[in-house]
Chain A
């Protein structure tokens, strides 16, 4: 158990809908990262927040957005969902803002299925 929690575990929804994925980092960790894992794209970094502020952006679509709240939990919002958005979404957390020794700890993931 990494100490990172994600809810829900599974989510099934229809195209065009909007969903929110939630992540609670390990106690004491200030950074939260979001990743998308699909069969054809592998593990893709989406976005990082550090202490409430956006720190780094990866391959995140404009239809997706995220935020980190004062209690450091984070939410990833996915809107206008398409079939291709079906994937595993992982959250990871780390102590700092991403230094070279700043190990990321991954949550169990949320499996999103868009029908």
Chain B
């Protein structure tokens, strides 16, 4: 089956690191994504990782992929109040000769000043 699961809430202090975790079930996942949704806005692609990679770093963002455990994480270094948002994990899987993207329910990140 296809399912992407995330914890619903995370609260951190400004300046600390945030780690948002995600698990997925479909072993045919090819790309895994992190999207950010700020209040009142649409989803914005933050970063993605191909399933044959273990890690990807992009400025303050680090994505770690454990394919054996089907576990994906997003680490935000030096978290700022502007990072407060909902973060969605998503996987792109093959489906009936095509592809589809399955989203998790989103993790709401609260950053305390």
Binding site for B on A (CB under 8 A): 2, 4, 35, 42-43, 45, 48, 55-56, 58, 90, 92, 97-109
Contact = CB atoms under 8 A, between A and B. Distances in A.
A42 B106 contact: yes
B53 interface: no
B31 to A, nearest CB: 5
Contact of B44 (A2, A97, A109): A2
A45 B98 CA distance: 15
Size band of the interface chain B makes with A: 20 to 34
Given A106-B42, A106-B44, A108-B42, A43 B31 contact: no
Interface of B: 30-31, 33, 35, 40-45, 48, 88, 92, 95, 98-106
Q: B interface, by DSSP: helix, strand, loop or mixed?
A: strand
A106 B42 CA distance: 6
Q: A interface, by DSSP: helix, strand, loop or mixed?
A: loop
Given A45-B100, A101-B31, 18 more contacts: A2-B44, A4-B42, A35-B103, A42-B104, A43-B105, A45-B103, A56-B98, A58-B100, A92-B43, A98-B98, A99-B99, A100-B92, A100-B99, A103-B48, A104-B101, A105-B45, A107-B42, A108-B40
Contact of A43 (B33, B99, B106): B106
A97 B48 contact: no
Nearest to A35: B103
Given A4-B42, A105-B45, A106-B42, A43 B100 contact: no
A103 B106 CA distance: 18
A111 B33 CA distance: 25
Contacts of B105: 42-43
9 contacts: A2-B42, A35-B103, A42-B103, A90-B43, A98-B98, A98-B101, A100-B92, A106-B42, A106-B43
